[in-house]
Amino acid sequence: MMKSGTDTDACYRSLLQKAVRRGDADLVYTASALLASLSPRKNNWYRTRTAIITFEECWPLGGELIFNRKFHSKVAALIRVTRAQKSRCASGLGYLAHALAEGDGSVLNKSADDRHIKIIANAINRPDDFWHWITEQKKTDKHTAALISTAHQFRQAGLPRDRAVIQSAAYLAVNGQVPFQKEMQPTDQAFPYWVAFDKHTAEGKLAMQDVARDLHLPLPQLEWTCFYFEGAKTNGEIPSRWWERHNQWHFEKIGLPAEEAHLLWEPAKPQVIEALAEDSRRLKKDLYRWKIANLEQIQALKRQVALFIEHFEAVHRDQKDLFGKDDLDNI
């Protein structure tokens, strides 16, 4: 039987973001409806989390975060991220800058790009000055202006590292062209439910500790390779120098050469899957039972989201007709 609680919420929240990354829209609908039923008074959490996931997983869509008071408007935004090719430049830059702001100078490598990391690190420490500066910058197009406006709206969302990602998205928007996001094909692979149990869940933390002990592996190396090869997996993404730099830095931080990471993960993966097998089966079964019992509610949510997205796209088409193609290609 489904029940609300800190551990349960953490599991389904983790599941939600993994489903977004892997492009599993059906699972995003189900997990979203379930989370809303577990915590009906916490829909503001879903709104905030939708914004954070958007900037983390596909920052160019930050300019298209349009919500109303209805829950389905937030789900619609998350479905658009789910279907899109991922772009994690803002995450890479934000995570590096957050580490620097926390005093970890190892993120710097004496390259020209260090300047950008230092700027965001300073922004973390002086957010009011940063947002005043960023909102005064000249906007090259309406999409850039919308993205910066949305980033400013969510400038206090989440944890400090989340806010660093949002600051990075705004900074990237005013310092270069916002890339176009193409829609990816729906995934046809079965979702691996065990990936929901990462180090941020009680079950995942315990499993990682047990496997690391049994295989005599450093826990940070096991946790990172699990995230790198499985937790962070997407349905397709734009190459990002910032995401790659962050990953390379993290490998160096844990003392594991990136080119050797697969040698650690390949033998460890079956052990992790086995350690989480019972939790994974329970999660999948509970989710399926809830879905069957609430199928009408989920189908209604899908219809509402489809209408909302259709209306959103129609408004954009009308804007293109009104303003002209050159002005609105990036809206």
Using DSSP, state whether 216 is helix, strand or coil.
coil
Give the helix ranges, DSSP H, for 216-293: 219-226, 241-253, 261-275, 277-293
Q: Say whether pLDDT at 321 is over 60.
A: no
Residue indicated by tokens 């390379």: 248
| 273 vs 211: CA distance, rounded Å | 10
Q: Say whether pLDDT at 4 is over 60.
A: no
- Percentage of the chain beyond pLDDT 90 is 78
Say if residues 20 and 78 touch (Cβ distance below 8 Å). yes
Mean pLDDT of 7-15: 86
Residue 214: pLDDT band (50, 70, 90) is very high
- The pLDDT value recorded for residue 323 is 33
Residue 41 or residue 125, greater confidence: 125
- The pair of structure tokens assigned to 281 is 């089966």
- The pLDDT value recorded for residue 318 is 46
- The pLDDT value recorded for residue 315 is 59
- The pLDDT value recorded for residue 325 is 34
Q: Say whether pLDDT at 152 is over 90.
A: yes
| 172 vs 71: CA distance, rounded Å | 29
- The pLDDT value recorded for residue 119 is 97
- The pair of structure tokens assigned to 69 is 């008071």
The residues, any chain, with a CB within 8 Å of residue 142's CB and separated by 6 or more, are: 327, 328, 330, 331
Of 140-144, 151-155, 158-162, 326-330, where does mean pLDDT reach its minimum?
A: 326-330
Q: How far is CA 197 from the centre of its chain?
A: 16
- The pLDDT value recorded for residue 329 is 31
Of the candidates 50, 57, 79, 83, which has an alpha carbon nearest to the alpha carbon of residue 150? 50
Q: Say whether pLDDT at 1 is over 60.
A: no
| 296 vs 188: CA distance, rounded Å | 24
Mean of the per-residue pLDDT values of the chain: 90
- The pLDDT value recorded for residue 40 is 64
DSSP 155-224: TT-SSHHHHHHHHHHHHHHHTSPPPP-PBPPPP-SPP-GGGG--TTSHHHHHHHHHHHHHHT--HHHHHH
Mean pLDDT of 166-184: 89
Residue 6: pLDDT band (50, 70, 90) is low
| 167 vs 91: CA distance, rounded Å | 10
Of the candidates 322, 330, 309, which has an alpha carbon nearest to the alpha carbon of residue 83? 309
Residue 16 or residue 315, greater confidence: 16
| 58 vs 237: CA distance, rounded Å | 9
**CA–CA–CA angle 329, 93, 227 (5° rounding):** 105
Cα→Cα distances 77→40, 99, 297, Å? 19, 29, 19
Length of the chain: 331
- The pLDDT value recorded for residue 3 is 46
- The pLDDT value recorded for residue 22 is 96
Using DSSP, state whether 104 is helix, strand or coil.
coil
- The pLDDT value recorded for residue 328 is 26
